[in-house]
Amino acid sequence: MKDRGELLFEIGCEEIPAGMILKASQELKAILAKHLSANGLVDEPTAQESIEAFGAPRRIVAIAKNVRLKQEDVTREIAGPPKAIAFDAAGQPTRAAVSFAEKQGVPVGKLTIVNTPKGEYVAVKQLVRGKTAAEILKAVLPEAIREITWPRSMTWAGAQGPRFIRPVRWIVALLDGKPVSCSLAEVKAGNRTDGHRFLGKRIIPVSGARDYEAKLKKNFVLCRPEARRKKIESELRSLTSRKGLRAHEDAALLEMVTYLNEYPTVILGSFDPSFLALPEEILITVMRGHQKYFAVESRSGELAPHFLAVINLPRDAKGLVRAGHERVLRARFADAQFFWETDQKTRLGDYLPKLSAVTYERRLGSYGDKVERMRSLARWLSEQWFSGGIAQADVAGSDRAAELAKCDLVTEMVREFTELQGIVGGLYARAQGEPEEIAQAVYDHYQPLGLDDPLPRNLTGCAVALADKLDSLVACFAVGAIPTGSSDPFALRRAALGVVKIILEKNLPLSISAAVSAAARGLREHAPRIEESAEVENHVIEFLLERARYILRERRGFAYDEINAAFAAGADDLGDAVERVAAVKAIRHTKNFAPLAASFKRIRNILEKSAGKGDKGQVSVRQDLLREAAELQLHTAAQRIGEEATRLKKEKKYRKALEKISELRPAVDFFFDKVLVMAEDEDVRRNRIALLAGLLKEFSTIADFSELGAEESK
């Protein structure tokens, strides 16, 4: 008899926003894996592997393989009262035994005696028959629909009805080809799906996963995103290669159109070549952001007067759809051309007074106030770099770039195409004759938006970008606008990651605490009503360091405790801290270093315990109190090795310094083997504690070895 089968589950609804489909399908997979494994219908170790889930604009689908058609029967042993209570001295059952047997539905003679840690108890074994998968799924599947989370949702069956991103119109639930009896908001599950809204049949009976996919394809629905993406990519290449062109690479747009269409087809359209006089950033943004078109470029990378649109139809034989898209794009380009020409009538810097009327945050004032803070901080940053010997640092250039950076926010172009902020400012600055370095700095100052995004191209751009991000962090933290959970309206996490990425990848010599303090000074000068404090600055610094830890862990492959060890010795100079993290990673598994790290952890524990007992210790070690040969040897070795390690540290030869420190291991091991730290003689005890405290302090300036986990230090 067949004991396993396949589950096909489809939630059919109105069009789901494209950006939400992938996450929803991933959630559905996890939810089903949880419920099916909890109910014993799939093997828990392979629950995730046995389920696949995917989605399209009008459906979220899951297919589970090897689902048990029935739970396994289980024999349970149920304990009752103690034997001494259940049976009298003559071995006859008491009322307690009879009541227990009646409750379990068995005769008293079926009771057994079991030994437990608490003594002998009566018990009964019961065979619990497993439920059928159909019974379990009747409750599980509607619950799975409810458990999918959405950024926002709606009800469609009255105020008390279930919530979902869009109204659910049909449900397919087939177990081994047979419908599962369940429902949600009066929508009964069955074996009928729905084809393409305009091209396919409304009611399509299916019998399983293979049948489901084949029949949907005949009705113009490619239910799997991989199939839709492959079709789009193939047609993008085919249409452009005929003309010696190529589609402008845009992975995010490809992902979007994959989830926007059930049966995607690519068409090639054209526009008036005269529009190519506009900057390509504007043309690409108009095509991509508003129309979801791919730009087309020549093999050399220059924009061509064509576009690629993805339509939810199998063909456009008469070219009517193409003509419609061309007409819409022509109007959008005409608007952009008008904005470009209108905005150019005013110098970019002359837009600055208008920023006073644009609120940044009600307690922090306007964008005009923010610009003044950015200018002050950008100048300070450039001064640090210039005095530090970075020849490209240009204080006046950084000030001018910061002054212009936000001016495009009040231009017509950015009001219409908000995603072009910064870029438009840079384009206008270049067109109006500003130096190229300043134009690039304005253009780039929002970068990097993500960890994979490029950095500002020049040092002036880095100064403005850091000024913008640091000001946002300090100012928002000062008024309590701190990210919580998924809420981060001022994108402060992204700003902090950007700060860290710029400093690390540009290898900029910058004190994090000094930079945060400089941002705080700007806030006091240009937003005097805000009560900024040292506590706020500390919170911002820790927020930045958390992002630094994340980058080093996730992008550079350092272990969590390696980062903590180096950061515990100081992380104000991030570049220097990273060098020390790398040194710790390189040496941690060597013969002497790992045991020495364990000894330093022991030293820290001893010092903490001694402090708890009131032993404050003493500042320096008294040689006359070094009674044992082992402690004298350790003191001598520490002095000798400390001098050499200090020299290497000053030369930033951190690995060699750590190798030198690891030579302490024999002396430390000998000390702990021969010396009782907590001696009864108070002076001797305090002297030994001072020796260990000095050791910990002296040799923890590169990394705090006690932060290294024991499991990593073998």
Residues 61 and 202 occupy one common structural domain = yes
- Specify the pLDDT at position 297: 96
Find the mean pLDDT for residues 25-29: 96
Q: How much is the pLDDT for 683?
A: 87
Q: How far is CA 301 from the centre of its chain?
A: 33
> Given 311, 343, 375, which residue is the final one in a domain?
343
Mean pLDDT of 198-215: 93
Q: Based on the domain organization, do 372 and 492 belong to the same domain?
A: yes
Strands 163-164 and 168-175: unpaired
The confidence score (pLDDT) of residue 712 equals: 39
Residue 711 has pLDDT above 80, yes or no: no
pLDDT band at 284 (very low <50, low <70, confident <90, very high): very high
Give the DSSP H/E element, type plus range, for residue 365: strand 365-366
Reduced to 3 states (helix: H, G, I; strand: E, B; else coil), residue 669 is: helix
Q: Are 170 and 192 in contact (CB under 8 A)?
A: yes
Mean pLDDT on 381-385: 92
For residues 53 and 56, give the distance between their C-alpha atoms in angstroms, rounded to a whole number.
11
Note the pLDDT tens digit of each residue in 170-188: 999 999 999 999 999 889 9
* Domain shared by 210 and 266, yes or no: no
User: Using one digit for the tens of pLDDT, what is the confidence trace for 419-437?
Assistant: 999 999 999 999 999 999 9
Please name the residue ranges forming H helices in 527-592: 534-554, 560-568, 574-587
Mean local confidence (pLDDT), 445-465? 95
Please compute, for residue 483, the number of CA atoms within 13 A of its CA located in the half-sphere on the CB side: 18
pLDDT of residue 713: 34
Per the structure, how many domains does the chain have?
5
Query: Is residue 3 pLDDT above 70, yes or no?
Result: yes
Q: What burial letters (b/e) apply to 92-119, b meaning 16+ CB within 10 Å?
A: ebeebbeebbeebeeebeebeeeeeeee
CA gap 97, 471 in Å, rounded: 76
Q: Are both 117 and 139 inside the same structural domain?
A: no
pLDDT of res. 610 = 77
Residues 44 and 177 in one domain: yes
User: Do 50 and 192 belong together in one domain?
Assistant: yes
CATH number, domain containing residue 706: 1.10.730
Residue 422 in any domain: the answer is: yes
Residue 505 located in a structural domain: yes
Question: Pick from 128, 154, 174: which residue ends a domain?
Answer: 128
Mean predicted confidence (pLDDT) in 241-259 = 95
User: pLDDT tens, 267-280?
Assistant: 999 999 999 999 99
| 355: in domain | no
Res. 616 pLDDT band, cuts 50 70 90: low
Phi, psi of 267 (to 5 degrees): -125, 150
Mean pLDDT of the chain: 91
Domain boundary among 150, 185, 218: 218
Shared domain for 253 and 314, answered yes or no, is yes
Residues 208 and 250 in one domain: no
Alpha helices, H only, 197-250: 209-218, 225-241
CB contact set of 109 (below 8 Å; sequence gap of 6+): none
Position 564 in a domain: no
| Cβ pair 426, 342 in contact under 8 A | no
Residue 714 is predicted with a pLDDT of 32
| pLDDT at residue 551 is higher than 80 | yes
Predicted local distance difference test score (pLDDT) of residue 686: 87
Does residue 62 or residue 599 have the better pLDDT?
62
pLDDT of residue 589: 84
Mean pLDDT of 316-336: 95
* Amino acid making up residue 648: L
Higher pLDDT residue, 529 or 480?
Answer: 480
- Reported as a pLDDT band with limits 50, 70 and 90, residue 614 is low
Residue 590 has pLDDT above 70, yes or no: yes
What whole-number distance in Å separates Cα of residue 322 and Cα of residue 320? 5
**Domain co-membership, 66 together with 87:** no
Report the alpha-carbon distance of residue 280 to residue 276 in Å, rounded: 7
Contact (Cβ atoms closer than 8 angstroms) between residue 212 and residue 201:
no
Helix axes 574-587, 654-662, angle to 10 degrees: 40
Identify the band that residue 595 occupies on the pLDDT scale cut at 50, 70 and 90: confident
User: Is 70 exceeded by the pLDDT of residue 228?
Assistant: yes
Tell me, yes or no, whether 371 and 463 share the same domain: yes
User: In this structure, is residue 566 part of a structural domain?
Assistant: no
Give the residue, 105 or 548, on which the prediction is more confident: 548
pLDDT above 80: residue 672:
yes
- Domain presence at residue 232: no
Whether 349 is in a domain gets the answer no
Cα gap 168→165, rounded to integer Å: 9
Average pLDDT over residues 350-360: 95
pLDDT at 324: 96
Q: Are residues 493 and 417 in the same domain?
A: yes
Is the same domain home to 532 and 478? yes
Spatial separation of the C-alpha atoms in residues 86 and 103, rounded to whole Å:
14
Please tell me whether the overall predicted TM-score, pTM, comes out greater than 0.85 for this model: no
Q: Please choose, from the candidates 70, 67, 176, 80, the residue with its C-alpha nearest in 3D space to the C-alpha of residue 128.
A: 70
More confident residue, 607 or 288: 288
Per-residue pLDDT tens for 677-699?
888 888 888 888 888 888 888 88
Q: Are 631 and 677 in contact (CB under 8 A)?
A: no
Domain for residue 348, yes or no?
no
What is the extent of the structural domain holding 646? 578-712
Task: Please enumerate, as own/partner, the contacts of 694-699 that have beta carbons within 8 Å and a separation of 24 or more.
Answer: 694/620, 694/621, 694/638, 695/603, 695/634, 695/638, 695/664, 695/668, 696/600, 696/603, 696/604, 696/607, 698/638, 698/642, 699/600, 699/638, 699/642, 699/645, 699/661, 699/664
- Determine the average pLDDT of the residues in 490-497: 95
